[in-house]
Amino acid sequence: MDISIELFNVLIRVLQGDITRCKTDIIVNAANTSLLGGGGVDGAIHRAGGPAILEDCIRIRNKQGGCPVGGAVYTTAGKLDAQYVVHTVGPVWNGGNHHEEELLATCYRHTLQLALELNARSIAFPNISTGIYRFPKEKAAEIAIQEVTRFIQKHTGLNEIIFVCFDIENAQLYSRKLQSSKD
């Protein structure tokens, strides 16, 4: 599955597949606060990128003590076909009454701001918080597309934004939400 639309002179794509195979300036990692790797996309990025990513994460931890929920930091991309990995920590879903939606939106805002500062032209996002953090997939897709749309309305620089969905359910959700945002 591969759907593309253009919004505000930026190509936005939805792909189903493995984010570690993307060729973009930035690959976004759905990290945990420790930055030491984990399961899901976090583990896959650390495995595919090699030890250089973890070494950078340890340096960041030693300097600032990890990354808070909603925050974002960047490291080398190691062996990945990218310049950087931006690690952002999404919220764990706890019923929706603990600012989870705002925290997820903040992940996208901070990540996109870092992309701007790093002069990135392309960025690939996973489905942040929708795996073991149990954020409702449809709500997460709405927030992701809303925040990306808001950002590209105000900022230039990015040419391509890719939502890389590991599963077909997310790919279909993101595709529908993206199409309806165009209308």
Q: Which residues of 28-44 are buried (b: 16+ CB within 10 A; e: fewer)?
A: bbbbbeebebbebbbeb
Q: Which of 2, 42, 56, 183 is catalytic?
A: 42
Task: Give the DSSP letter string of 7-40.
Answer: ETTEEEEEEES-GGG--SSEEEEEE-TT-S--SH
**Active site annotation includes 2:** no
Query: Would you say 104 and 69 are in contact if contact means Cβ atoms under 8 Å apart?
Result: no
Catalytic residues: 42
